[in-house]
Every structure is written in structure tokens, then in C-alpha cells.
Amino acid sequence: MPRKPVTWYIATPADGIIEMSRQAGTPVNLAAHVGKVIDHPNPCRAKWYDESRFSYFRMVKRVGEVLEDTGIWPVTWPVRLWSVEPLGETGNWSQRYYPYRLLSHQIRVLEETDPHLALGPCGRDVVSVVQQEIPERAARWAADWDADPEGMSNRKWNWEQCGGPTCGSGRWADSLAMSVSHNHRESAAQTWIEHLARDTVDHTLADTDASMMARCYAYSRATGLAVAAQHQNRFEPYILDALRGVGLDSSAAVAAA
């Protein structure tokens, strides 16, 4: 049986320019070269070492890791995702530690593809949670904390350490999600998701008087909710509810809902 062709991916900001190439002063615009071959503008001589900020093209075959090491900061959405073909000599920093990564000095840009894949198979649901659910809930989470800091602190500790009758502990669920992300080569996806969730909390609470501890509590709830969306087709409710913090909402909030 013939092997399935490998698809290699590169992620860029919305303008299609490889961020590291921009920072190096030699911008490479993938959006302007679909179907074309691009030679690296300043290839490294000692392969494969960084002699400059942008020494070679970096691509991955595990799309969940495409957002690693992009140079894109701050974390943003949307990004653009490109499938590319490496040409000429290729290399790798370490086949043992980076089997999903490839380096080259020449690529062909094949096509632009769905950027949600960079956040995992449920990427669209993740974005929906980040853009719609977290803004609706973040102020409530912060208000719950500031209304009863001691009580919420106890609730949070019990959730993190013990869980409840219908879900596991928060720390256990977080650890499991991180491990599964690593095993599925979605560590970069999870990191990006968590940043997006926290940034949404910051935006939502920007004009409020929420305390720092209330913001931290909202961060934990937001990242758990978003990561649960990432793994919703992999975990059972016992784990997903632990990530979502089911049972943490105040009785007042539950009654209002």
C-alpha cells in the first residue's frame, strides 16, 4: 500500500507574511506566492543552525504544532495556515525530539487551508468558546470571586484538589489535557488556546474594577473551558466537567442562569 503523502504546514499572521522573516528585515509573503517556488532570502551556511533571526523555512507535518516557534506575538486570531512543499536539501534539529518538523531553504506554496486546524480537530468550537462564551462569563466569574473571596478560594481549592461526585479534580484534568495534547502533537495548539482565552478575559474585564485574584480566577475558568472544547471528542464528561469547573459557580449565579 502506498504511503499517504505528507502535508507540511506554515502559519502566518493575517497578512500572510512569515513573522520571523519580517523581523529579520526580509519579509516573505506566502499569500503572494501561492503555486510558486520561494527561495530563502538569506539562507544559513552551517545547516541547520540559526545564523540570523530567519535562517531557514520552518514547517511541520503535525498541524497542531504549527503555532510553535512562529515569532507571532502577541498571540492573535485569526492566523493563516498554508500547506507547502519543501524543495532541495532538508534538515532537522533533532529527529528524536522534533520528528514532526522540517527545515529547508526552498519551498513551494501549495495552498491556503483552514486555520482552525492549527487549534486541533475541534478548532472551530474552540474559537466559538473563546469569542462567544468566555466574554459572556468572564465578568460573572470575576464578580463571584470579589463578592466572596474566601468562600470562592475554598471552592477553587476543593475543585483543584478533590473535584466532586460527578467530575475529577481540576489539577488532574489539567495534567491529563496537557499529556493528551503532547501525545497528539497539539502542545502548541493548547498553549495558543490558553493565551487566547486569557486575552479574552483581559479584554472583557478591562473597564471593570475586578481584583487581581478575581482576574486570575477568571483566567483559570476560561482556559479550562477552552481546553475542554479542544478535547471534547476525546474525553468523557467526568474529565470535561473537571476542566470546565462544573460546580464552581456561585449559587446566585446558578439561580440566575
138-181 pLDDT, tens per residue?
999 999 999 999 999 999 999 999 998 899 999 999 999 999 99
Three-point CA angle 232, 235, 238, nearest 5° = 110
Banded pLDDT at 250 (limits 50, 70, 90): low
Arithmetic mean of pLDDT, 26-36 = 98
β-sheet bridge partners, residue 113: 81
DSSP conformational letter for 82: E
Distant-in-sequence, close-in-space partners of 175: CB < 8 Å, separation ≥ 6: none
Q: Which helix (H) or strand (E) holds 103?
A: strand 101-113
SS3 37: strand
Distant-in-sequence, close-in-space partners of 196: CB < 8 Å, separation ≥ 6: 75, 77, 130, 226
- The pLDDT, as a whole number, for residue 252 is 43
Q: State the chain's mean pLDDT as an integer.
A: 94
Percent of the chain with pLDDT over 90: 88
The pTM of the full predicted model, rounded to 2 decimals, is: 0.93
As a whole number of angstroms, the distance between CA 110 and CA 85 comes to 7
Using CA atoms, how far residue 82 sits from 41, 66, 131, in Å, is 19, 10, 23
- The pLDDT, as a whole number, for residue 1 is 58
